[in-house]
Amino acid sequence: MRALLFAWLAIAGQAALAGRASAVGLQPDGWDAGLELSAATDTNPNPRVVEINLEARVARVEIAPGQSVDAWTYGGRVPGPVIRVRVGDRLIVHFRNALPSPTTVHWHGVRVPFQMDGVPGPSQPAVNPGESFTYDFIVPDAGLYWYHPHVMSAAQSGFGLYGALLVEDPDENVGVDDELVMVLSDMALNDSGALEAPDAGGSIANVFGREGSHVLLNGRQQSSLVVRSGAPQRWRIVNAAKSRYFNLDLGGLPFKQIGGDGGLQEYSVERDTLLLAPGERADVVVTPRLGPGETITLRSILVNRGMFTTEGRFPYDDLLTLTGASVEPYSGPPPPDVRRALTPLPRAGATQVDLELTLDQPPDAAPEYGIRGALYSARHKALEARIGETQTWTVTNSTKWSHPFHLHGFFFQVLDENGAPVKPLAWKDTVDIPFERTVRLIVRFDDREGVTGAWMLHCHILDHAEAGLMGAVQVSPANAKGGPAETEDGHYGKH
């Protein structure tokens, strides 16, 4: 009996690694075949260690029936394989670069040791073509994270390099077994159907941020899903596009948002539309009610993210079609209300930091984004923080475009936007700072192994980051004498 039970657990564990969240669900067999993602293969027998091989290489991928493109891929697929781990697991990734250019892997949102953060220069040397690098770290927090390069990231992510990292917490009870990982992105193709040059449109396109011509969900256009009416499903969504915002709409069917970047949020919120800026994640439950053969579509409606970002553009109507299956509707109880006890970071004693997001237009040079205030330390050319310190950042966006503001290595809590409190409480690593608005957030530079270093902060419209919207925060030991430890050359590396 015991042996049988263990055998069953082992099989259930395998099933989870093969890409399914759980063995038992309410949906018909094959319901999610149209949204299939490849899954990383764990080669390590230790149940608490997930060890995978990951190769970056150019490969031909099909983005729509009959339409293929030579993309930059992890493991030959766009998106790269979903990596599934449990919170507290050790993740070992044997990464090999078979691209024609140097690269790294950055684990977006994961509180990794600094040496594993994938920023070329400060964290690690860039991985040159033909070279390898092993990433090895404990995954400390449940949630949906993702991975992408940090070398010429606008170009490389735009070419197809991104994948999801799902950190599951076996003790988390959301009461929904049918789960989908959704990677939203886009890809810019030229008239001959090949990858568009990443600098197409010149410096003015940097100012806007380039949106790809082909909108993708799990690497495909016009995906499909077969659903059992009345059965709740959990969608774990990441916006991996380099510039495009997604504002998801299911024709009035609400999204019940239960979490975001850093796992579950304080309490759930019903949303008619779901906005994801580049880099952000959402954890939502949707419950479609559809007769057999009846359909609804998931679309992305227009987002005003600044000057000339809606003119001449159209909603994207064809992300995903949900079709009612010919099965008995589900009439069981709705899933339980999901809550998470989160404590607001104490504001008393927090160091105040003012940051301004700027755009300068020198008369005879390319426009340049910047973070003013960030470079106030001549010594480090970075913000400074001590381990254990809490800081309140007032981020004012003085430009005419919105900026998804991302901090490496730490979660923050968003306090307010233009003075209006932001609720519910949640851990974030990326927050949209709308144009001409001010967002306040609070961050604690928690003590943990390998936390010392110059952690990046930047806009996740990657064209903006490369046009200058980036900085770093130098985190130093609490007891360091005579100022924070010196970085090698007072320089925090190229994005």
Q: Which residues bind Cu ion (CB under 5 A)?
A: 403, 459, 461, 464
Query: Does the protein bind ligand C2O through residue 281 (CB under 6 A)?
Result: no
Nearer to ligand C2O, 444 or 464 (CB): 464
Contact range with ligand C2O by CB under 6 A, out of 171-179, 333-341, 393-401, 453-461: 453-461
Q: Which of 77, 86, 111, 148 binds ligand C2O (CB under 6 A)?
A: 148
| Pick from 19, 75, 32, 22: nearest CA to 220 | 32
Which of Cu ion, ligand C2O, none binds 403 (CB below 5-8 Å, type-dependent)? Cu ion
Letters for 398-417 (x = contact with ligand C2O by CB under 6 A, - = none) are --------x-x---------
Which of Cu ion, ligand C2O, none binds 108 (CB below 5-8 Å, type-dependent)? ligand C2O
Local structure of residue 103 (DSSP, 8 states):
B
Q: Which of 20, 86, 108, 281 binds ligand C2O (CB under 6 A)?
A: 108
How far is 261 from 241, CA to CA, in rounded Å? 16
Residues 6+ apart with CB under 8 A from 61: 68, 69, 71, 73, 76, 77, 78, 160, 219
Question: Helix, strand or coil for residue 94?
Answer: strand
Query: Does the protein bind ligand C2O through residue 198 (CB under 6 A)?
Result: no
Local structure of residue 112 (DSSP, 8 states):
-
Query: Does the protein bind ligand C2O through residue 458 (CB under 6 A)?
Result: yes
How far is 151 from 156, CA to CA, in rounded Å? 8
| 238 neighbors 183 (Cβ within 8 angstroms) | yes
Q: Is 28 left (phi over 0), alpha (psi -120 to 50) or beta?
A: beta
Query: Does the protein bind ligand C2O through residue 77 (CB under 6 A)?
Result: no
CB of 242 to ligand C2O, least distance (A): 10
Which of Cu ion, ligand C2O, none binds 236 (CB below 5-8 Å, type-dependent)? none
Token pair listed for 51: 């060890």
CB of 165 to ligand C2O, least distance (A): 12
CB of 458 to ligand C2O, least distance (A): 6
Query: Does the protein bind ligand C2O through residue 111 (CB under 6 A)?
Result: no
Concatenating the DSSP letter of every residue in 354-370 gives EEEEEEE--TTS--EEE
CB of 463 to Cu ion, least distance (A): 8
Q: Which of 219, 263, 279, 409 binds ligand C2O (CB under 6 A)?
A: 279
The number of residues in the chain equals 495
| Window 200-229: residues binding ligand C2O (CB under 6 A) | none
CB of 408 to ligand C2O, least distance (A): 6
| 188 neighbors 201 (Cβ within 8 angstroms) | no
| Pick from 196, 181, 195, 163: nearest CA to 55 | 163
Strand pairing category for 214-217 and 179-187? antiparallel
Number of residues that bind ligand C2O (CB under 6 A): 10
| 322 neighbors 225 (Cβ within 8 angstroms) | yes
Interface residues with ligand C2O (CB under 6 A)? Answer: 106, 108, 148, 150, 279, 406, 408, 456, 458, 460
